[in-house]
Structure 1
């Protein structure tokens, strides 16, 4: 298979994702979380669709034909998220709007290269299996593990779809192993190191990696700025990838962007080490901007980073860090698309009025020059 991204040549989606979309409001530039009884002012703020939207938008910006199954409210927040997702070329035919349910909202406070979040919401009017119904034909599917049964996952596997899974923070702090039962129908599982260790009761990320490899063919454990490690039991491949050094503004949604990058490389047939390196790169580029979804890089951002990286490597000796990074990402010459690239926009503080959103984006985001 060519190293170039091979979009589906038929009517199938490249990637179908199901889950909940939140309105994310992100504050950055904080030195610490405000102490009780105090107030902190900051000039850094962004608003954008979050939750599963982070992964869907990231995948679409990487050229995958992406579909999303989600409940969305008919309130103003829901209108904003719906319009933004449509503008990001997300197929919403499996999604539904609801009048008597308000949009869930997450406030993310980014500080010290990490973030804390507060979420407000009520149970969704329809779970993922009810949304998916008849599974859209897709080469790949991505889901977040939860405590509810998801029969559509088995249907997807039986239809030949590669199913990728991630998992969120367990607010109950019980980390039940039963939550991993659905992995028997999955192709890949991508937890972060804390999630992996808590669910497997392991002492180290690597120990957790190998325990999870007994449950699912491909396991990737992310370790933040330290990179990621992976095992492919089907091919016998193992890989680890260093993090890409960048000036981080907001890590919100970086794990979702990582997942989109890994799925992109998998559907293109890349070896495990390239998939891991590429996922690390797109996640690193995303943390330089506000928010999870609208921080996701487009191919123009990747091309710009690669040009700058090669230029720095040429100015340093062969054993320098810059030269090592350039060698690690030399495969980008074979995968960056030729020709004009679609612009992407970034999150800004203002949520647009619907009339603005219908005319070139208005105040919902700034166009990226790439």
Structure 2
């Protein structure tokens, strides 16, 4: 049967800006038909949309794709093979919900189809484990049966790339490689990992300082106890009371200094704890603001799409009004000619009456 459409709807099509990876770029001037297609030969589901003869969406649904609703009338999904993110603006929330349900349904079907394909590959590879005449062969691993992740992905990419040579409605040239978007996300991930590493290092450093100060406190307490014992021994053993009293005073002063130092260390520990909690709060606020900013940008793009549509309607209306004015001018000119002819006819009739 080949590839057949199984669901269609109308929507405004957008793609993420390949330079900024933040702004939406409209790829259709008006709402176009967006359809799900099923290829029974290859057991593949695709999303295709045409603007005239140009294919603006050609996305193969894979089990790892996710369709996200970013507003009541806008949704998006990322296609790593096409190296882009597609966005759709619908006329109502109902149409968006229906499209999202179909996306989830066909995504699950694609996952089941992939699992069945892997099971068939395993079944066809199992007889190769047996050797003729009792020869012992090396055992097959899951990698040798199904191939690595890169090897399992390569045939699908090849199948999707074959129709590109034919200028049909189902073909879409891929002009970007996936390395650029991978590098971008790797950079983003590296930044987040760096921030996380800094916070973790600060927390570990604070914990290490707390442990070190506790050890110092225990050492100071042991030293104080030892000094107290030493004072007692000196008081018992020494007959020089003044020298013992002086030494005792010095030891007491040392103990007081150690207690002051310990108090300062405890205050420093509390201050570091407050700084760690404040850093966590700032991280949460930054994440919340980033999410809100993304939502606002998406809403702005939706409003820009609506504004563009209204501007097109206004231009069309102005053109119609201009044509109507031109028609009125033409009718007025014709009417003026008729009035002039009637005036001449009236004058001629009046002359005839006077002559008679």
Q: TM-score range by the shorter chain?
A: under 0.3
TM-score (normalised: structure 2): 0.22
TM-score (normalised: structure 1): 0.21
More strand as a share of residues: 1
Q: Which has the higher contact order (CA 8 A, sep 6+)?
A: 1
More helix as a share of residues: 2
